[in-house]
Structure 1
Amino acid sequence: MQTSSGSKLDSGRVALLLVLLGVGWYFWDSPAVWPLKLLVVMMHESGHALATLLAGGAVDRISLAANDSGACLAHLPTGLMAQVAVHSAGYVGSALAAAFLLLATFRLRLRRLVLAASCVGLAVMGVLYAGDGFTLAFCLGTALVLGLAAKYLPDGGVDTLNLSLAGLSALYVALDLRSALWNGAARSVTDAALLSHLTPVPSWGWAALWSFVSLALLGLFARWSLRAARPEGLGYTLTSSRR
């Protein structure tokens, strides 16, 4: 498989990503996927929290619920652009997290480091900002699982786990933004609705913009990350790889 620039994509990694996306889509409402979905929701809310702190605001608490919903309660910074950035950071931040997982795992060869960093980041967010016992228990328990995976899983297992997290994060962005675009009831309670009250742009306009930016980021980073490389990680044998 070859890109327009002539570089070759790793067909094994591309196939695995497509399989994981298909499995995630098919089993999206299955209890087996629920912990990963809730982790992706935490990534979304953490995006809001980090953007708030970077813009000079203050985060009160983050809360997760068993029905896959979440909330980040914060004192927003002053200024329209800062508030736009904070409200946009959930979806765009989830897309960036998925993109960086791909890049760090497959191009930078930092598979264990990025998983360990996810473990530490999740634990820190839970300790500092968890608004209830359920959120704290989920953050600490999931952080422990990620830490153990980073230490003990073989390279191929770490690659597959990181690819699964990236794929589910991308699915979450796509499915949630689909609802924000086409479901009026859902759109009325989203980040896009909050921004529509601050700007002349309607909520569907913000959802469309986030969809474009998120998909563009994911596509670009996936293209960079899934180029063919020397045999490593997932165990594929590349007989025609060149540097």
Structure 2
Amino acid sequence: MQTSSGAKLDFGRVALLLVLLGVGWYFWDSPALWPLKLLVVMMHESGHAFATLLAGGSVDRVTLAANESGACLSRLPAGMLAQVAVYSAGYVGSALAGAFLLLATFRLRLRRFVLVASCVCLAVMGILYAGDGFTLAFCMGTALALGLAAKYLPDGGVGMLNLFLAAFSTLYVAFDLRSDLWNNAARSVSDAALLANVTPVPSWAWAALWSFVSLALLGLFARWSLRASRPEGLGMGYSLPSSRR
């Protein structure tokens, strides 16, 4: 199997990713996946928060709710560009997070580092910006779980966990784009509607742009991640759990 540039795809990686996507889709409504859905919502709200800080604004608080909704309340500097960047960073940011998980697990071999970095980010977000007890408990509890996984899971287990998180977040982003941006009722109260109120661009156009950018990022990073490893062993490919990395 080859990409358009002639690089070969690793069939094992492709098959494993498709299996995990299928597992996530099949068990989508299982209560066991509820914490993962909240984690992706937190990625979305963290995207808004990071963009706010980069734009020179300040974040007041971030909140999550048990019904998988979330909010990032922040103060933005004056200017349309800052508003466009911050409102766009939710959907695109969560897509980028899922895409980077794929790349880090398959190509960069940063499996354990990814869990540690996620642990630290969640803890920092919870301590600095959690707007209520539920959000703080989720951030700190999930940070603890990821930190313990990074410390105690074997290499193969860490890789499988990262890959499932990447596959699930990719699936959630796709479903989120569909339900939030291409449902007229939902789009009327989404980030796209907020931007439509401050720009001459209608909400459906923002929805189309964010969907294209998000799916393009996921596709591009997946293509990089699923290439076969080089013969000399640089960027060794992902393997099923074993004693060999």
How high is the TM-score relative to the length of structure 1? 0.93
Change (3 A) 1:15 1:85: same
Do the aligned partners of 2:60 and 2:73 also contact (CA within 8 Å) in 1?
A: yes
Indicate the RMSD between aligned Cα atoms, in angstroms.
1.6
2:35 counterpart residue number: 35
**2:115 is paired with a residue of what secondary structure?**
helix
Go from structure 1 to structure 2 and tell me whether the alpha carbon gap of 1:12 and 1:204 turns closer, same or farther (over 3 Å shift).
Answer: same
Quick one: which amino acid aligns to residue 33 of structure 1? L
- Amino acid in structure 2 at the alignment position of 1:37: K
User: Partners in 2 of 1:182 and 1:99 — Cα distance?
Assistant: 22
Q: How many corresponding residue pairs?
A: 237
Q: Percent identity?
A: 81
Q: 1:35-114 alignment to 2 at 5 Å? A: 35-114=35-114
Q: Distance in 2 between matches of 1:181 and 1:95?
A: 14
In 2, are the aligned partners of 1:180 and 1:192 still within 8 Å (CA)? no
Q: Which residue of structure 2 lines up, in the alignment, with residue 235 of structure 1?
A: 240
What TM-score comes out, normalization by structure 2 length?
A: 0.92
1:162-190 superposed Cα distances (whole Å, 9 cap, x missing partner): 11111222222211211234311111111
CA distances 1:14-71 after superposition (whole Å, capped 9, x unpaired) = 1121122122122222201100000010010000000000001110000000111111
Letter in 2 for 1:180: D
The residue that corresponds to 2:5 in the other structure is: 5
- Structure 1 position 234, deviation (Å): 2.4
Give the deviation of 1:233 after TM superposition: 4.3
Moved more, 21-30 or 220-229: 21-30
| SS at structure 2 position matched to 1:71 | strand
Given residue 235 of structure 1, which amino acid in structure 2 is its aligned partner?
Answer: L
Give unpaired runs (5+ residues) of structure 1: 238-243
What is the alpha-carbon distance in structure 1 between the residues aligned to residue 142 and residue 32 of structure 2? Answer: 14
What does residue 115 of structure 1 align with? 115
Structure 2: runs of 5 or more not aligned = none
| Contact 2:157-2:241 at 8 Å conserved across structures | no
User: Which amino acid in structure 2 is aligned with residue 160 of structure 1?
Assistant: M
- Preserved contact between residue 127 and residue 136 of structure 1 (Cα < 8 Å): yes
- 1:137, CA displacement in angstroms? 0.6
Query: Contact between 2:182 and 2:207, CA under 8 Å: does it hold in 1?
Result: no
